[in-house]
């Protein structure tokens, strides 16, 4: 079942610079082979439910396993029969705006 999630994984209680920690989670996501896109506040991941959830878990646990308290915000769109939603949803809006 196709799943598109937007996830924000934030280390809590670390020094002011979060990027060194966040980059560890992003690396897990990028190395997964699933389609993904990172913006300033969220990373989108798309694929089968079990694979997406495993990647989210692994991306969280890479910090938690270091003893870092980690906050996770997750939003999901589960849409049977649909693929490439990460790109198609945006393209649909762009097409409408271009008219």
pLDDT-derived band at 13, boundaries 50, 70, 90: confident
Separation of alpha carbons 92 and 73, rounded Å:
26
**CATH architecture observed for domain 2-98:** 2-Layer Sandwich (3.30)
Separation of alpha carbons 30 and 55, rounded Å:
9
- CB atoms under 10 Å from CB of 63, counted, come to 22
From the number of C-beta atoms within 10 Å of its C-beta (0-12, 13-18, 19+), residue 95 rates as exposed
Range in 28-42, 48-62, 82-96 with the lowest mean pLDDT: 82-96
pTM of the model: 0.89
What are the domain boundaries of the chain? 2-98
How large is the average pLDDT for residues 25-29? Answer: 98
Residue 82 sits at φ, ψ, to 5 deg, of -115, 140
């Amino acid at each position: 079942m196709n799943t598109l999630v937007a996830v924000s994984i934030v280390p809590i209680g670390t020094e002011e610079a979060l990027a060194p920690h966040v980059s560890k989670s992003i690396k897990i996501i990028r190395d997964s082979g699933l389609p993904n896109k990172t913006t300033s506040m969220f990373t989108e991941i798309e694929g089968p439910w079990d694979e997406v959830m495993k990647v989210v878990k692994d991306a969280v646990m890479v910090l938690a396993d270091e003893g870092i308290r980690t906050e996770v915000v997750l939003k999901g769109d589960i849409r049977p029969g649909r693929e490439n939603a990460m790109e198609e949803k945006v393209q649909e809006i762009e097409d409408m705006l271009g008219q």
